[in-house]
């Protein structure tokens, strides 16, 4: 199975990718997580990516493709769910070329969510600094045994960075929808509603 989850920041790509990973035994390939891990480890790639990540700008295509491709090669270009990749037409074309060579069949699930919902989700998202678990202070609160001091807010979840990320999404990333519609690979799913409701819609779309 070859899947990519597509949608604006906060549309639920990471949350749904994690469910799909468990349900279909897939590798969850999140370029955002890979870049943040590289930044936090202080690698050369991470240091180059840091200022883009923290401000909410896209990291240059060449850097992202290098880490995404390494992860794809590692899973043999199969049984993966991409989360946050591709994000530009150039990235999409590079990915398509390799997927075609591997046998094709990429499905791109586009999560449709309004800006209002996105702002509510991102302002209250918190990440556990040790486990990496993603919570929402209201919709998906951490269990009682989690120490609030261990919950962090991503630098790019501050209001100014979120506004920039939404602009960047509209300008650079949204055009990919037309690209995958033309290829017959795009599946639009309503991303509003609770996590399990959205997961049910995705499961239904994939089985039909």
Spatial distance between the Cα atoms of 156 and 160, rounded to a whole number of angstroms: 8
Instruction: Report yes or no: 102 and 77 within 8 Å, Cβ to Cβ.
Output: yes
| Known catalytic residue at 13 | yes
Instruction: Quote the least distance from Cβ 187 to ligand AP5, whole Å.
Output: 16
SS3 call for 59: coil
| Known catalytic residue at 154 | yes
Residue nearest ligand AP5, CB atom distance: 32
Is 110 an interacting residue with respect to ligand AP5 (CB under 6 A)?
A: no
| Known catalytic residue at 171 | no
Please work out the total of residues on this chain that contact ligand AP5, with binding judged by CB under 6 A: 36
Residues 160-189 that bind ligand AP5 (CB under 6 A): 165
Centre a 10 Å sphere on the Cβ of residue 191 and count the other Cβ atoms it contains.
27
Q: How many CA atoms lie within 13 A of 116 on its CB side?
A: 2
Instruction: Quote the least distance from Cβ 10 to ligand AP5, whole Å.
Output: 4
Spatial distance between the Cα atoms of 53 and 140, rounded to a whole number of angstroms: 25
| Known catalytic residue at 201 | no
Q: How distant, in Å, are the alpha carbons of 48, 145, 177 from that of 97?
A: 26, 47, 17
Select 2 or 165, whichever has its Cβ closest to ligand AP5. Answer: 165
Is 10 an interacting residue with respect to ligand AP5 (CB under 6 A)?
A: yes
Q: Give just the sign of the alpha carbon dihedral 84, 45, 121, 137.
A: positive
Residues in touch with ligand AP5 (CB under 6 A):
7, 9-15, 31-32, 35, 52-53, 56-59, 64, 84-87, 91, 121, 125, 134-136, 139-140, 156, 165, 193-195, 198
**Which residues are annotated as catalytic?**
13, 87, 125, 154, 165
């Amino acid at each position: 199975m070859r899947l990519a989850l597509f949608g604006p920041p906060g549309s639920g790509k990471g949350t749904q990718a994690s469910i799909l990973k468990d349900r279909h035994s897939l590798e969850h390939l999140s370029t955002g997580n890979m870049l943040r891990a590289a930044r936090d480890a202080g690698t050369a790639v991470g240091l180059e990516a840091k200022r883009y990540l923290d401000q909410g700008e896209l990291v240059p295509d060449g850097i992202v493709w290098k880490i995404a491709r390494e992860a794809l090669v590692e899973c043999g270009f199969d049984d993966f769910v991409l989360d946050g990749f591709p994000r530009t037409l150039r990235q999409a074309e590079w990915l398509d070329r390799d997927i075609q060579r591997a046998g094709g069949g990429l499905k791109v699930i586009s999560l449709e969510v309004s800006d209002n919902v996105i702002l509510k989700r991102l302002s209250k998202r918190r990440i556990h600094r040790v486990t990496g678990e993603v919570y929402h202070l209201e919709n998906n609160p951490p269990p009682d045994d989690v120490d609030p001091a261990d919950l962090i807010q991503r630098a790019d979840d501050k209001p100014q960075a979120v506004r920039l990320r939404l602009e960047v999404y509209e300008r650079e990333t949204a055009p990919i929808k037309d690209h995958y519609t033309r290829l017959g690979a795009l599946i639009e799913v309503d991303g509003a509603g609770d996590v399990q409701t959205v997961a049910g819609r995705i499961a239904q779309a994939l089985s039909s």
